[in-house]
Chains A and B, each alone.
Chain A
């Protein structure tokens, strides 16, 4: 047998066997999960508060212990040895098992919460009952499937966040960023909304009750934020309710654009966002699985921008549906709202087409024109045809299909369930409308870029391989070109894994940000002028 044949399987080295510490850590974590699982099968635990504490602590400590053992003995540095040899991180057997289990969990969570023990209007059973004590301690209410999910989600970000910080302990950008997502998840997504629920019915809300509001969750990620029932709840909850509504609007139109201009969309996607938080911590082991082909990039651009159009139409239709027609009652009417939307979209469209057209590729220009025409036609059609259906569909139909297709299936079942198969940022890359809008701004109007360090690139491919968004970073770096891509979430891993110090995330002047010249330093200047001649 030739030696060449023998080595066809480049998986020569089996994954390292677990150390004794790691075995015990796994046992501890599994014990914690087992409690949750037993509860799911309606094993009734006598002292729920105690058992829940034991369970969550075991899961957290098991994960932390495991990663401590994995990294504490090693010198600080890149820890990717054997990533492509391990079944879990290279789409092997365990990856599929994990993917199927996670997907199953999401399907039950979204569509069959009764299997988790949800009882409407009665005492909860099963897992949800196990979480009742914690929920009651926080908000005073019994748990729901979302509370269970939120708790486990927070535990995952916390435990795997600690793992991530150990893994990248030589990298301060990664450590700070991870602390930030851990904080925002625990405080903003988990604790504050639960505490806010305690105010409901209180006199500072004028007896009203606030909708569940994760303050860092901005429209259109938070696609339901301006639905009728929420607006009513905000408006009937006194000054605090009103302030929150204003904050919701400001966060879309003022806070997000300013921060994205200054820092790129990373301020949100990899420092604040909960979806990003889970992807960066629990999903870190799967970042290398994202598809880097040009084909995948084309699919991404069409899919994610279609979601933006979908969410814009849906939200417009929903808000339209509950507005009145009488200007004397309320200044914002159906007509003025539609005109407002049309004007805003026209302004954005005109600005891009006039000032930024040369920065868009042909197909992006066609796409922009096409989508703009569609939205305007729908708004126009409606405007001139009187009432009836909002656009061609009923707003309720639009809302329901968005919430099912995008809110549940895309962001949950596919987005997270398929971590071990498609990588950890499938939702953020192909589905998240918020990421798409910020990306649009990042590409055209932001100080953020990844600077390529002259001619130092050796085309090794670590940056592209470990880019969770599937950006072929190397394609730019090896040409000496800066990376200015709308999908970049600024996780910073490309610069971390670069063995030659080629990449740097930075916020610099707009001028010369996108280097279309192939400035590869090293050659003498005359030659570079020739090479750059178009």
Chain B
């Protein structure tokens, strides 16, 4: 029986394990240094906030693994010997593999700031980071102020977490507006406002110069590059992105770039070794995607794909239309297709933006300037239906069609206010058109006609 070893029990590794089990009887071993059982990384924040206990963010009950004959090993893989097909765990124990899947995820970026390794300085990625935060910032008495460095998704989540315990937060964002490398300006501006509403001290266009230690080697304050201002604080959160967690593979002969280099089949340069999830780096980016995709959904899809390949049905990783979602404090965000920020958007990409007069609700749709083809939609505070957008993107619908049928895509709970009429009328006046919004139709949505 073939022996499949998976390093990493995150969403990518566990998806691979589950699908290999569905398709085959192979022996499956999952090695993790982080936790005994799979948990939802994106939900760590809710444990600190008291919405859930750690056990709640584990999607499967503990008996699941034995029942499905997925063997779990707790330990840190220190070495991979691709010649003898052997792993060393914690420097001693050895495990043989026939096929190896590397799914070791990411680690927080540190950009060589002075003082970045002091006590009280931490990232937020792993279960250990969560435990550490509980020590560093259990309440506002121990942590009188926290400074967060890096204005991305993890940064704003960390800010929300700390605010749930009334800890004052200063949020340093390098860009002149929150996450505007990704979000178009209108949306980014709305999130700036919302961050301030939550009493977070948002400092835009601000960089960290250094972190200052007290006499015990703990963080005492930080100094801002632009102004030289010194901000006293007890915790510094480093949330300036993540990079693949692949240092342990340096001498393994497996080709590394920033991550583990893989081809379209998620195969590395070494036979029988695969890499998936955050730690995998495509030789060539797929479509508009980045070569390294550190996103929950792509981890899951790569896991599903590699399981097919390993079970004898070698297939390419061909992700469909891009989608993603996040929540900025109270504002939900979803995106379908590609909507680029002004900073990186291409010549042909035009935008239509609508924002509610009072509430924190807005959408941005991207379309081709010449053909009017619909390219993607960002939506804030309105839920949209994945299936419908996926279909529209496949069918290469134009903007007018999307606006006309926007009600079909609405996924807000029943009785919520509808904004389609307002959105379409703004579109009409922007574009000089006279489109009428159609009523929602289950026949169209579920294609039952």
Contact = CB atoms under 8 A, between A and B. Distances in A.
Interface string A308-323: 0000000000000000
A501 B58 CA distance: 20
B42 A82 contact: no
A347 B86 CA distance: 64
B446 A508 contact: yes
B78 interface: no
Contact of A84 (B53, B131, B384): B53
A509 B442 contact: yes
Contacts of B51: 78, 80-81, 83-84, 462, 465, 497
Given A461-B40, A521-B387, A84 B417 contact: no
Contacts of A13: 50, 138-139, 165
A500 B332 contact: yes
A6 B132 CA distance: 9
Q: How large is the interface on B (under 10, 10 to 19, 20 to 34, 35 or more residues)?
A: 35 or more
A523 B304 CA distance: 9
B111 interface: no
A504 B413 contact: yes
Contact of A501 (B198, B297, B334, B448): B334
A523 B320 contact: yes
Nearest to B413: A173
Nearest to B51: A80
A298 interface: no
Interface in A329-361: none
A377 interface: no
B50 A173 contact: no
B192 interface: no
A92 interface: no
A506 B415 CA distance: 11
A508 B139 CA distance: 47
Interface stretch (B144-152, B203-211, B241-249, B311-319): B311-319
Contact of B40 (A84, A459, A508, A520): A459
A460 B57 contact: yes
B53 A10 contact: yes
A209 interface: no
A80 B43 contact: no
A460 B385 contact: no
A454 B448 contact: no
Contacts of B297: 455-456, 522
Contact of A293 (B11, B61, B442, B446): B61
Given A172-B417, A500-B325, A458 B43 contact: yes
B304 A531 contact: yes
Contacts of B445: 508
A501 B328 CA distance: 13
B128 A4 contact: yes
Interface in B382-429: 383-387, 390, 411-417
B323 interface: yes
Nearest to A77: B330
A445 to B, nearest CB: 17
Nearest to B323: A522
Nearest to B387: A454
Interface in B329-348: 329-330, 332, 334
A478 B59 contact: yes
From B56, B61, B326, B445, residue with most partner A Cβ within 10 Å: B56
A85 B198 CA distance: 22
Interface in B211-254: none
The winner among A16, A86, A172 for most chain B CB atoms within 10 A is: A172
A492 interface: yes
Interface string A183-217: 00000000000000000000000000000000000
A76 interface: yes
B325 A456 contact: yes
Nearest to B360: A75
B131 A3 contact: yes
B209 to A, nearest CB: 28
Contacts of B139: 12-14
B320 A459 contact: no
B135 A462 contact: no
Contacts of B50: 13, 80-86
A524 B384 CA distance: 20
Contacts of B43: 458-462
Contact of B132 (A7, A475, A506, A522): A7
Nearest to B140: A13
Contacts of A395: none
B313 A530 contact: yes
A523 B301 contact: yes
Contacts of B327: 499-500
14 contacts: A3-B132, A6-B135, A82-B164, A458-B43, A459-B11, A460-B52, A474-B59, A501-B334, A504-B412, A520-B301, A522-B323, A523-B304, A523-B319, A526-B315
Q: Report, nearest first, the 9 A-B pairs whose CB atoms are least far apart.
A: A454-B386, A77-B330, A501-B383, A460-B43, A12-B138, A82-B50, A524-B318, A7-B131, A7-B134
Given A78-B51, A526-B315, 14 more contacts: A3-B132, A13-B138, A170-B330, A172-B416, A453-B385, A456-B386, A458-B40, A459-B11, A460-B57, A504-B414, A520-B301, A521-B323, A523-B318, A527-B305
